[in-house]
Chains A and B, each alone.
Chain A
Amino acid sequence: MAAYLQALRTDEADSVLATHHDGRTLAHRLTDKYGDRVCSAFTVFGREGSFAPLPDDLPTGLAQALGARGIDRLYSHQQEAWDAARAGRHVLVATPTASGKTLCYTMPVLASVLEAGAKALYLFPTKALAQDQVAELLDINRAGDLGVKAFTFDGDTPGDARQAIRQHGDVVVSNPDMLHQAVLPHHTKWAQFFENLRYVVIDEIHTYRGVFGSHLANVLRRLKRICAFYGVRPQFVLCSATIGNATEHAQALIEDEVVTIARSGAPSGDKHVLLWNPPVINPDLGLRASARSQTNLIARVAIKAKMKTLVFAQSRLMVEVLTKYLKDVFDHDTRKPARIRAYRGGYLPTERREVEREMRAGNVDGIVSTSALELGVDIGSLDAVVLNGYPGSIAATWQRFGRAGRRQQPSLGVLVATSAPLDQYLMRHPAFLTEASPEHARIQPDQPLILLDHIRCAAFELPFATGDAFGPDDAEPYLRVLAESEVLHNEGDRWEWIADSYPANAVSLRSVADGNFVVVDRTEGRQTIIAEVDYSAAALTLYEGAIHMIQSVPYQVEKLDWEGRKAYCTRTRVDYYTDAIDYTKLKELECFDGGKSGEGSARHGEVHVVRRVSGYKKIRYYTHENIGYGPVNLPDQELHSTAVWWQLPQTVLDEAFRSRQHALDGFLGAAYAVHIAAVVAVMAEPRDLQKAVGSGDGVWSAQVDASGRGQVRAPDGDLALPDTLERFLPTVYLYDNFPGGVGLSEPLFRRAPELLRHALATVEGCDCKAGCPACVGPVLAADEGREETPRALASRVLRLLGADA
C-alpha cells in the first residue's frame, strides 16, 4: 500500500483547507490556490423562492397528507401545473433539476383518484425511477391514509400480481417498453383501467430522443387509439430536464398542444462553476496531468471541507477507480460505515436501493456515479458536483451540476477537462458552455420502418378500417404491405390481424440487446450473485482476467460462460485494474445502389459492423503505468445494418495528399462534418446514426486518437501505420446503429449531394482556425499551427467527393 500511503502524505488537499466551506468560499479558495488550472470561473445566481398557498380545491385528505409530509405551501410552478391540469390541459413541466417536479403531477393525479376514482399511468425510462416513484406515492398515501393503490408494473412483476394490478391499481407506474409489449397488446384485460384512465404522466421526456423517442411517439399513438376504443381521452403531464426545445419535443411526442411551465418557483442558491484544466506536467510534450488526479483532488478538498460531494465519471470503470482512491483516503478504517459510495448501472437493484437510502439519510459524504444519477433518482441534496470530463452535451452538463444546491446555500460545480480534444476545446472556449443553447431533442416518428413496426403492432391491438390514419398519415399503404406478408387480412374495408405471432415482441424500443450477464462470486466456495451486467457491456468488462470492481472491491473474472450469460469470479487483491482494448470495423455485404460522387463513389447498402475486444491492459493504481497485456477471446459483437458510404480511389488520394496520414486525417474530419449534417438532416440522435472510417474492404479501421490524429488499427487489433497498408481505400460510413437498420441511412444516400455540400459549407464557413467541434471535430492547440490543418484536409476530401461550395 505504499502508493496509498504516499497519496496520504502528499495530499495537496490539506493545505487548501480551513475547516468549513460552502460553495462560494471553496470556489474562491480553489481559484486562489490553483489560478493556473481554473480556466474560467463564473456564478449562476440563485433566486428567491416564489410560493403559493395550497389550492382551495385540493381534496382535504390530500392536503392533510401533504401537511403531514411538511408541505404546507407550493412553489409557484407547482400551482401553475395544478391550475393547468385542472383546466383539462396537457401540461409540460420543464423546470430545473430538484425543483419539485414530482408534486406537479402527484397532486392532480391523486386528486382525480380521490374525487372520481380515476386511474393514472406513469411512464419512466428506468425501473429504478419507477420504484422510487411508487415509494413516494405510498409515503403520501400512508401520511394521509388515502387508500390510493399504486403499483409498479414491469418485467419483474410476478404473474399473479399482474391481475390484481390491472383490476385494482389506481396509479400504475411502468415504462414505455412494458406499455408497448405487455399492456397494449393485452388491452382487453386492462379494460377497467383504460375506461377510467384520466392522466398519463411521462417523466424525463428529454431521454426519449432519436429512434427511442420516435418509438415512444408511436407507442403513444397506439395508446391513444386504445383509449379512443374505451371512450376516454386522457390528459398528459410531461416533465423534462432543460433542453433547447422542450415544448416542441413534448408536442411532437404527444402530437397535441401543451401548456409549458418553465419558470421555477423553487428557491435556489448561487452556483459557483469552475472549468478546470489539469496542469501541464511536461511542457516539452504539452502533456497535462490526468483529469482523474484533479477530480480526485477536488473531491478530497470538498469532502474534507464537510461538503456532500457527487463525482460524475464517464465510465463504470472510472467510477470504481475514483471510488477506490477516495476510499483509500476516507474509508481506510473498515470498522466505520463507508463515507464514500459508488453508484452505477450493473449493481444489483438491492445494492442501488441501499446506496440511495444511505445517501438520502445523509450518511454518505462522497458519491461517485455514472450518468445513472443524472436522472431524477432521489438522493437528497448535495453541496458540490465534480465532473470528471465533459459529459458530451451542454444539457447533460447542467443537469449534472443541477444535482448540487440545497435551498439558498451556495454550491460548487467543477468541470475537469480530460485531454480529449473536445474537453480541451471547451477550456479554450468556455462560452460554448454558457452561451450556446442546450441541445435539441429530435424525433422522427414517421420514419417508414418505425411506422411499419407500429402499424403492425397497432393492427394486432385493434383492426384498422380503410381510411384510418395512424399519426398524420393514411395507414393504408402500410396495411397493404402487411397484408402481402400475410400478417393482416383485408376483408371489405377492414384490416384484421391474422398471423399467429405477437408483433410487439419483435419490436424493441431500445437498441440494447437483451440478456443480462450475472456475475457470480465463487470465493471460498460461495455461489453468490454480486452484480448484473447488461449484454452490451459484458464484452468490455467480463472477459477472463478482467478485474471487475464493485464498490471498488476487486474481483477477478476466472471464467466467462458466454452462452449461459454468467461470469464467475473470486475476490482478489491486486494493485492494478484492467481496461479493455476494443475497436469497430465495417464491411460491405451488399450494395443496393451506388453512383459516382466527384472523383469517387457514394453507395448505399447492407453492412456488417463488428465490434471486437482484442485484449486488455493491466494498469497499476496511482502510477497508471501499463504493466502488461492479456488476450481476450470473445465472440465479436456483430450487427447487420444499413449504411451509406463514400470512398475515393487510391490514385486520387496519392495525387491530392502529401501522405496517407494526411488523407486519413482528412477522411476523419470529413466523416465528422458529414455526420453532423446527416444527424440534422434526418433528425437522428448521434447515438442512433453512427459514423466510422475504415477500409472499403473491412480490413482496417481508423479512429481519432487522444492527440487528434488518425490512427489505423490492423485486422489483428494492433496499431498500424497507414503507409504500411497494402491497399489504402479509406471510406466514410454512416450506419444505423440498430440490428437490421431503421431506415436512417437510406434517405441520406438519396440526398448525398446535398449532404456533402452542407458538410463542406460547414467546414469552410466555420470561424475556427484549424478545426473545432462545430466542423471537423475538436483539435488540440498544437494542431492550430499545423501547416495543413485538419479543416483544410477535410475540405479537400469533401471537394474530391464532389461537394462544391
Chain B
Amino acid sequence: MSDLASKLAVLRRQAGIAAPQGSPARPAPTGSGVPGQAGQATAWWEPTVSAKGARDTPTRPPDLATLRRMAGVRERLAQPRAPLRAHTRDVPGDELSPGLRYLEQRFAWAEPPAELDLSFAKLTTARREQFLHFDTETTGLAGGTGTRAFMIGAADWHDGALRVRQLYITAMAAEAAMLREFARWIEPETVLVSYNGKSYDAPLLATRYRLARLPNPLPGRAHVDLLHPMRRRYRQVWENCKMQTAERKLLRIVREDDLPGSEAPRAWLTYLRGGSSANLVRVAEHNLQDVRSLSGLLVEAHGWAAMDGAAVSPPGYEK
C-alpha cells in the first residue's frame, strides 16, 4: 500500500513534521558531543517540550507496511478470504429511502382472542391490537456501542390478519431512517412482545437511538418478554428454553433450511461488501418466522391461566 504510505508522508509534511518516514536522516550530531552536556549531541533525543506537553514525535508510523507487519506479529490470524463466486444482488422489498428497505406480508390467522390474559407475565390484560411482536437481527453478540441492528421485524394483528413488517438497511447511513420508521410503529398503548428482548433487543436499540440522537420509543411501553415465563414454566421440562425449542414444543413448528441466527451478521456483511444477497434473504425469512412464532407463543401463554385453573399438566411435557 505504498499509496497510503505516500499519503501519510504528505499528511506529515503538511503537518510540518520534518522527519520523512523510512529515512534515518534526522540531523545527526557530531561525534564529540557528550550526552548531558549542552549541545547538538542531546538535541535529537531530548524531547522538545512544547506547550502541549512532554510528548515529542521521535517515532512516526514509518509506513503502513511496517505497521501491518508489526500488527501481524500480534495477531498472526491470516484468515483466507473466500473466493468470489457469481452471485445474486437481488434484495426483496421496497426502498423507502436510500438504503432502507421495507417488506410487508399478511398471514391468515384463526381468530385470536380479542383480549389476552397476561397474568403469566405478571401483567393484567391487553387488547390484541395493542401487541407489537418484534425481533432484531444484529451485527453480532459482542455488545457495547459497536453492535447494531440491521433488520427489525414486527408482527401485529391488523385488519383480521397477522401483519408482518420488516425493515432492513443496505447502507449504514440508512440506520437513522430505519430507527425513525420503527418508532412510528409504536403507539403509547403498544405492548411490546419479544423473546429475550428486555435483555438484548431493547438495550441494543436504546444504544442505537442514543447514538443517532433520536428519542427512544421503547421506554414506558409495557414489554412482555416471553423468555422469562417460558423459563419459569419449562426449565425443568425442556432441554433448554430457546425460542426455537418453545416453538417446536408448543406450536409444533419445525423450521426447514433456517439460517442460524449466528450466521446473520455474516450474511448482511457479505451483501454490504458487495457479495451475494442469497443469505440476506434467508435472514429475512428467519426473522419473519421469529416474529410469527412470537405471536403464537403469546397466545399459547395467554392460555396458561385457564389451563392451570383446570389443573391440566402443561403441554409439551413429553419426556
Do chains A and B interact in one complex? yes
Q: Is the CB of B24 within 8 A of A449?
A: no
Q: CA–CA, A476 to B54, complex, Å? A: 25
Task: Check A257 for interface membership: any CB of B closer than 8 A.
Answer: yes
Near B by CB (< 8 A), chain A positions 580-638 give 592, 606
Query: B61's contact among A448, A683, A754, by CB below 8 Å, is which?
Result: A448
**Are B73 and A642 in contact (CB-based, < 8 A)?**
yes
Q: What's the nearest-Cβ distance from chain B to residue A140, in Å?
A: 33
Q: Using CB atoms, name the residue of chain B closest to A500.
A: B140
* CB-based contact A252/B146 at 8 Å: no
User: Do B70 and A642 touch across chains, with their CB atoms under 8 A apart?
Assistant: yes
In angstroms, Cα B265 to Cα A306, docked, is 70
Q: Which of A461, A677, A751 contacts B26 (CB 8 A)?
A: A751
B55, A761: Cβ atoms closer than 8 Å: no
Residues of B within 8 A of A440 (CB): 54
- From B39-47, B181-189, B301-309, the one touching the partner chain is B39-47
CB contacts (< 8 Å) of A503 on chain B: these are 146
- B92 contacts A by Cβ under 8 Å: no
Q: Mark B122-137, 1 if CB is under 8 A from A, else 0.
A: 0000000000000000
Taking a contact as CB atoms under 8 Å apart, the answer to whether A462 and B45 are in contact is no
| Residues of chain A with a CB closer than 8 A to B31's CB | 757, 761, 804-805
B33 A761 Cβ-Cβ under 8 A: yes
Please report the C-alpha to C-alpha distance between residue A251 and residue B47 in the assembled complex, in whole angstroms. 14
1/0 per residue A165-200: CB within 8 Å of B?
A: 000000000000000000001111101000000000
Q: Give every chain B residue within 8 A of A315 (Cβ-Cβ).
A: none
Interface size on A, residues (CB 8 A): 83
Is the Cβ of A500 less than 8 Å from the Cβ of B147? yes
Complex Cα–Cα for A205 and B57 (A)? 21
Q: How far is the CA of A670 from the CA of B255 in the complex (A)?
A: 71
> Which residues from chain A contact B313 at a C-beta distance below 8 Å?
none
Task: Indicate the member of B36, B47, B57, B146 with the most A CB atoms within 10 Å.
Answer: B146
Q: Which residues of chain A have C-beta atoms less than 8 A from B172's C-beta?
A: 489, 491, 494, 496
Q: Which of A185, A472, A757 contacts B146 (CB 8 A)?
A: A185
A445-B55, A461-B146 known; A762 vs B34 contact (CB < 8 Å): yes
Tell me, yes or no, whether A348 is within 8 Å of chain B by CB: no
Q: Is A739 in contact with chain B by the CB < 8 A criterion?
A: yes
B-binding segment of A511-519, A541-549, A570-578, A741-749? A741-749
Q: Are B144 and A502 in touch, CB under 8 angstroms?
A: yes
Q: Which residues of B contact A248 (CB under 8 A)?
A: 49, 53-54
Instruction: Choose from B36, B173, B273 the contact partner of A492 (Cβ within 8 Å).
Output: B173
Indicate if the CB atoms of B56 and A683 lie closer than 8 Å: yes
Nearest CB in chain A to that of B142: its residue: A502
Chain A residues positioned under 8 Å from B69 (CB to CB): 592
Q: Chain A CB within 10 Å — which of B37, B53, B141, B203 has the most?
A: B53
Q: Determine the distance from Cα of A677 to Cα of B26 in the docked complex, in whole angstroms.
A: 16
In the complex, which residues of chain A have a beta carbon less than 8 angstroms from the beta carbon of B68? 481
Within B33-87, which residues are at the interface with A (CB < 8 Å)?
A: 33-37, 41, 44-47, 49, 51-62, 64, 66-71, 73-75
Q: In the complex the two chains form, what is the Cα distance from A642 to B141 in whole Å? A: 33
Kindly state whether residue B251 has any CB partner on chain A within 8 Å. no
Residues in B with CB closer than 8 Å to A740 are: 73-75
Give the CA-CA distance A253 to B62 in the complex, in Å: 24
Residues 456-470 of A, flagged 1 when their CB comes within 8 A of B and 0 if not, give 000111100000000
Q: Are A257 and B45 in contact (CB under 8 A)?
A: no
Within 8 Å CB of B62, what residues of A?
448, 746-747, 750
A447→B45 contact, CB < 8 A? no
A252 cross-chain contacts in B, Cβ below 8 A: 52-55
Contact of A682 with B58 in the complex, beta carbons under 8 Å:
yes
A728 within 8 Å of B by Cβ? Answer: no
Contact B55 A443 (CB under 8 A): yes
A477 to B143, CA, bound (A): 27
Residue numbers of A with Cβ under 8 A of B are: 185-189, 191, 217, 245, 248-253, 255, 257, 440-449, 451-452, 459-462, 472-474, 476-477, 480-481, 484, 486, 489, 491-492, 494, 496-504, 592, 606, 640, 642, 677, 680-683, 739-741, 743, 746-747, 750-751, 753-754, 757-758, 761-762, 764-766, 774, 804-805
